[in-house]
């Protein structure tokens, strides 16, 4: 089993839609969870940290479910500019392979 797993997608959603991604991790002792976004052939950009109590930043909400060992990212009111690959990170340095999101007009 991989340390971090993500559905590669793509998730194709219309503008204004709400979309959610999950990321599962195998090590129950994992700490330091993050979400990044990566545009094609660019560097990853930090989106948000994931705290035990959850974290919200504008249209983005991140949650941690320790019992089921996954983190989630919810994007509300999707914009065309949200189209990217979303990477989850566990233990600070273990990156998932990403979930691709494509928002269409």
Partner 1 sequence: NAGVMQNPRHLVRRRGQEARLRCSPMKGHSHVYWYRQLPEEGLKFMVYLQKENIIDESGMPKERFSAEFPKEGPSILRIQQVVRGDSAAYFCASSPPDSAYEQYFGPGTRLTVT
Residues in the interface with partner 1 (CB under 8 A) total 19
For the beta sheet containing 60-65, the strands, ordered from the edge strand earlier in sequence to the opposite edge, are 4-6, 19-25, 70-75, 60-65, 55-57
45 binds partner 1 (CB under 8 A): yes
**For residues 69 and 63, what is the distance between their CA atoms, to the nearest angstrom?**
11
Residue 10 sits in the site that holds partner 1 (CB under 8 A): no
Interface residue with partner 1 among 26, 27, 49, 65 (CB under 8 A) is: 49
Alpha carbons within 13 A on the beta-carbon side of 93:
0
- Which listed residue (21, 86, 96, 100) binds partner 1 by CB under 8 A? 96
Which CB, 35 or 78, lies closer to partner 1? 35
């Amino acid at each position: 089993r991989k340390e971090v797993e993500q559905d590669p997608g793509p998730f194709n959603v219309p503008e204004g839609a709400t979309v959610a991604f999950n990321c599962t991790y195998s090590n129950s002792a994992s700490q330091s969870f993050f979400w990044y976004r990566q545009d094609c052939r660019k560097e990853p950009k930090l989106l948000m940290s994931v705290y035990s109590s959850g974290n919200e930043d504008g249209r983005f909400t991140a949650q941690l479910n320790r019992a089921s060992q996954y983190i989630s990212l919810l994007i509300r009111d999707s914009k065309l500019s949200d189209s990217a690959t979303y990477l989850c990170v566990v233990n600070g340095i273990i990156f998932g392979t990403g979930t691709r999101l494509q928002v269409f007009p």
